[in-house]
Amino acid sequence: MAMTKNDTGTIVKLGRDAISQLRDIETRFKVIAGEDGKIDQAELQAGLGLHDADYAARIFSLIDRDGSGTVTLWEFIDFAQILLTGSPDEKLRIVFDLHDLNGDGTIDQAELTHILDRSLNEHHLDIPPQKLDALSEAMFQKVDADGSKSITFGEFKACIDAHPALKDQMVANSATWLRLPERIERDRRRPHGRLLHNLTEGVTRLWENERPWLVLLVLYFAANAWMFRSGILAEIQLGSDLFTQIAQGAAACLKLNGAIILIAMLRHSLTFLRRTWFGPFLPLDHAIAFHKIVGHVTFLCAVIHVGGYIGAYESIIDPDFFTRDVVYGELFKSRVGWTGLTLIGLFLVMWIFSLRFVRDKGLFDLFYITHQLYWLWFAFFLLHVPGFWMWVVGPGALYLIERGIRLVHGLKTTDLQQADALSSNVTRLRMTRPDWFHYQPGEYVFLKHPMISSFEWHPFTATSNPEETEMLELHVRGVGNWTHKLHDMAQQPIPERPAAWPRVYLDGPYGSPASDIFDSKIPVLIGAGIGVTPFASILRSILHQRQQGAASQMQRIYFIWMNRDQKAFEWFVDLMAQLEEDPATRDVIEIQVYLTGLRAELTSASLTVAMEVYHQETGRDLLTGLHAPTRLSRPNWQSVFKSIRQAHPDQAVDVFYCGPEGLSRVLSREAGRFDFGYKKENF
């Protein structure tokens, strides 16, 4: 354990975590400084990713203690060391000095206004000038306890001390912004606790929340094991060698998986089942996940099947198989040979372009196009195994019927009445609702726009409520070529849009986990970014139903929405305001809003306090204008769920989530701890 001294000369022991962070900070300094080993103001701003030049200048002046115009490694480390190991008062003193522009030991209102303005700008937060003045006035009046028209360090400290949770967060994270960003992300994602404990807890939680899904997986893998064993036993009776036995065991599994891989894609059938009384007892929410598992198992079985026959041929029939020039001719002589190679080639292409990295890079088009090869794959499978038709006839017939329904819908156009390019690369579409289109809140549709692509269909959740019979609304986030082209076209002035622009095609609707919300007494709706879309439709429907006096078993609704960008709240701020103001819903729905894109830095605490004071004075949030305050942080899910459980100690609570997979794992774990049900959107 290393030792160091703080500003008062007291020796402080550095723990392993502090030493690790100091090493990160030293590494970051060297990256910024380059060969000369010093940092000027411009380099500091660019290297630390500071957006506002004035704010960067204030930070630089605090670090550059000798006023030389450059920062050395020791000045940088000394500053970081105070933020890491200093006392809370020492850290607060740095924050206070940051606000004290003229260095007279006090903060007047002009200085406070300036720093609040620079802090808002640094965090990319946009408010009108009159709101900034009101924010500064409210904060100054609150902190200036003696009415002296200036804030002393004692008054500033008392204000921060009045918010202990915020102070603890500020003290703990005061040096985070100096560290390497990749190290911060690594530490945030690192699992905590003992591995065995986490694994046991995860299995228990999965059994409690996902019992039908676990049962399906057990039955599925048991069926594969039975098929593999049956294939091997059949070859043993024929006296085949071990390689052939393994190859035929895998072949038996391929027949099974080739049939059931279609079942998970029967969207109309699964939506019908979801609407029946036994729908909640089926693992319908995991249809896509099941399809992926079957795809991976199918590919594995295909590799084993091919490898088994190659092994049998080389070791028993022809040891020189791979060295002779006639090998390719022999492979393509028989129907089994050339169809088998074609099958493995087709499936390899589909499998590679369905992996996560393809979608993560926004290459959905490649995934979609290559997946259309499944028609050829099934055709060659029927040629390769003549008896395969008996396995696929049932699900294949249902799939063809559903494709027929989709084809019929694909021949009918729908008029796009309005297309608006919103902030954060989101496009709002409003279109005429077809007479045949009947959907429930939270369900999704497939959309095709022939001006963008004549064959691509993309899924989007309806954000309008079903009671709005004339119009259908969608919100589309730009994540790939298709959606970016849609956003670009929506930005064009209406006279410049192509004549065929309003013509679109719909397929659906299809059920989703969010549509089960109406069966819950205490639903907790959690949306991350554009993941709010299923809940927009649901909340609009709830508002309409309660305005009409319709009976509902929902007693309390919690709506939690997180965004990285302030502008994103504009998508549905009018809906949230209506939910807060309408007598039918204001006492039933609790709204929580989180702005998660802000990084911890020196003025975060004072900005947060100022926003809280503004909210107390006006009853409105500074950023959204809602009654619900915007929290400038990620939610503490343990605290959020604990408060909900305390409010409903003996009632069933169900969490519904739509957003990134990483957060889903956290929510599932925390929901299990408080005995909450948990469902996630999967498409």
**What CATH number has the domain bearing residue 454?**
2.40.30.10
Same domain, 523 and 668: yes
CB-based contacts of 163, cutoff 8 Å, min separation 6:
605, 608, 609, 612
Mean of all residue pLDDT scores within the chain: 79
Same domain, 231 and 276: yes
pLDDT of amino acid 208? 62
Q: Tell me whether residue 201 is in a domain.
A: no
pLDDT of amino acid 524? 92
Which of 396, 428, 458 is at the close of a domain? 396
pLDDT of amino acid 248? 84
- Nearest in space to 90 (alpha carbons), one of 22, 178, 17, 12: 12
Q: Tell me whether residue 479 is in a domain.
A: yes
Report whether pLDDT(63) > 70: yes
pLDDT of amino acid 326? 45
Tell me which of 591-595, 654-658, 659-663 is least confident. 659-663
pLDDT of amino acid 184? 46
Same domain, 362 and 428: no
Same domain, 388 and 251: yes
Same domain, 267 and 382: yes
Q: Which carries the bigger pLDDT value, residue 353 or residue 646?
A: 646
pLDDT of amino acid 7? 46
Cis before 629? omega within 30:
no
Same domain, 355 and 269: yes
Same domain, 79 and 140: yes
Q: Tell me whether residue 197 is in a domain.
A: no
pLDDT band at 316 (very low <50, low <70, confident <90, very high): low
How deeply is 426 buried, as exposed, middle or buried, from its count of CB atoms within 10 A (0-12, 13-18, 19+)? buried
User: What is the distance between the alpha carbons of residues 441 and 514, in angstroms, rounded to a whole number?
Assistant: 8
The total number of structural domains that make up the chain? 4
Tell me which of 23-27, 409-413, 534-538 is least confident. 409-413
pTM: 0.76
Report whether pLDDT(558) > 90: yes
Same domain, 386 and 525: no
Report whether pLDDT(392) > 90: no
φ and ψ of 171, to 5 deg: -65, -40
Within 13 Å and on the Cβ side, how many CA atoms surround 474? 26
pLDDT of amino acid 2? 46
496: left (phi over 0), alpha (psi -120 to 50) or beta: alpha
Same domain, 245 and 159: no
Task: Give the highest mean pLDDT range of 81-95, 202-216, 223-237, 408-422.
Answer: 223-237
Same domain, 223 and 344: yes
Expressed as residue numbers, the domain containing 65 is 2-189
